[in-house]
Amino acid sequence: MGKTQLAADYARTAWDTGSLDVLVWITASSRSSVVSGYAQAGIELCRADPDDPEQAADSFLAWLTPKSGAPPCRWLIVLDDVADPTDLRGLWPPASPYGRTLVTTRRRDAALTGEGRRLVEVGLFSEAEALAYLTTSLAAHGRAEPADQLTALAADLGHLALALAQAAAYLIDSGETAAAYRRLLTDRTTTLTDLTPDALPDEQALALAAAWSLSITRADTLRPAGLARPMLHLASLLDASGIPQDVLTGEAARAHLASHRTATGPDPTAEPAPVSRPDAVRALRALDRLSLIDHRPGTPHQAVRVHQLIQRATRDTLSPAQQDQYARTAADALMAAWPAIERNTALAQNLRANTDALTRHAEDALYRPDAHSVLYRLGRSLGDSGQANAATTHFQHLTDTTIRHLGPDHPDTLIARHELARWRGESGDAAGAVAALAELLPDMARVLGDDHPDTLATRSELARWRGESGDAAGAVAALAELLPDMARVRGDDHPHTFTTRHELARWRGQSGDAAGAVAALAELLPDVTRVLGEDHPDTLTTGSELAWWRGESGYAAGDQSTD
């Protein structure tokens, strides 16, 4: 955004300083408009035949070519807003030591560069530039606003030049304050179109949303046709600062692309074809080529970036039902990309940021018809990354929200309460965890039944935090009561049964019965080894615990039979 204004300033400066003999400005949105512009120049400068536009255009391009013995002609050709690089095939002005060609475009196709051409990226305003622009624009109309409000407004608009210009015009025309405009921006019932001034400033031709709509339509025509728009729908609900490529190219995302592919073929009612992962990547490339996203394949965890206003304009086009549906799909895509074990901390942090963004944009949808699993994954990821307090805060919010949306007895509410108690303990409040779990357990049993896995898990967690709060004997008693139920429901060789046996041995030792811990772990180790294998982490942990308690019970030299 702002390319045309920059080109206009460059052209005016060149003309006003007397460094040009010929200046040609063409709105190059199609091949025909380029030919027409060249033809008009050919008619005026070369006396070309007005009845043959193609020939007149060729005459003009030939006229631009330097000729030996002829006085030099200093020229500038501006081709503004090129929509398709193929429109310029055979129409590039000739190379000349006296001539310059300036092209503005949203496109990033390789065909536009090379052959001595230099690409100039038009970026965003800096914070200082944005503040200066807003302050100056308002002052010209006798308006002044607090600098902190203008700085915050510039950040809300992502420092986008065109957005700042239209916001300033809106403030001037409407008499609204910057604070009021910011409130309108955050109001989900207000669209960007509602915030467009009646008359666009700086000779702008299109409002923000309309300009992007044209680009999206164009992107949908690029191969694979029809996938750019549904891809942007998903990206508009996630983190503007970086979306992992795997989220947008995984199975859930590809199913969405196939189901919502924009009809571009001769038979719009045909059965949608499946979308491959390479097709999904090409859809990202199509959006990148139209500058609707930044797609950086070399940065896997933040491969896709989208300006926040493009996201907003895209969401404005969705019906409430569509936004709800796409939000659930985005949540599915995040879950599919989330590894069970978070070995890559950067990826985990990025997935959390994307889940936060999705929640901000469409939280209610994540509770219809039930609480989406990504909400629980986010909280556990926070806790597993060492942020136990943040996990506690998250699960407190999740508990309150599930109660409000689903009711106090819904299984999702009970799970949220379980997780809240757990992370309360992990954050240092073991007694609070015990109290919360003791209150939760009868509700679990009443709603789900005594033998439900979640009820058994709550009993296990309660026993653990009783021990952590200093009641090792109480933990032993609770685990001893739990173990036969766990074995009956889950099976003797189930990992949760092994965990219960391991925890029972551990708290026996903590309660002062080191010999009892040794006996229990010595009995557990061969079973764990048989089922999970010698190199499984749980097997290694059991062996280590057995060695520890043997030492505590008086076998200071160890027992080589446990190696």
Domain map (residue ranges) of the chain: 3-112, 127-195
Indicate if the pLDDT at residue 265 is higher than 70: no
Is the alpha carbon torsion for 187, 193, 194, 200 positive or negative?
positive
Percent of the chain with pLDDT over 90: 76
Looking up tokens 């990826």 gives: 347
Could you tell me if 479 and 507 are in contact, meaning their C-beta atoms sit under 8 angstroms apart? yes
Question: From residue 301, how far is each of 184, 235, 285, 348 by CA, in Å?
Answer: 32, 14, 17, 9
Q: Answer whether 290's CB lies under 8 Å from 219's CB.
A: yes
Q: Which pLDDT belongs to residue 190?
A: 84
Average pLDDT over residues 64-87: 90
| Cα–Cα distance measured from residue 504 to residue 84, given in angstroms and rounded to the nearest whole number | 70
pLDDT tens string 145-159? 999 999 999 999 889
Distance (Å) of CA 293 to CA 41, 296, 328:
36, 10, 22
Residue pair 282/223 in contact by the 8 Å Cβ criterion: yes
pLDDT at residue 561, rounded to an integer: 46
Confidence label for 443 from pLDDT (cuts 50, 70 and 90):
very high
Query: What number is the average pLDDT over the span 519-534?
Result: 96
- Is residue 177 within 8 Å of 145, Cβ to Cβ? yes
Mean pLDDT of 316-329: 96
Mean confidence (pLDDT) of the chain: 92
CA distance 364 to 524: 46
Return the C-alpha torsion angle 205, 208, 209, 215, nearest 10.
70
**Could you tell me the pTM of the whole model?**
0.82
**For residue 72, is pLDDT > 70?**
yes
Residue 558's pLDDT is what? 46
Are residues 90 and 68 in contact, defined by beta-carbon separation less than 8 angstroms? no
pLDDT of the residue at 491 = 96
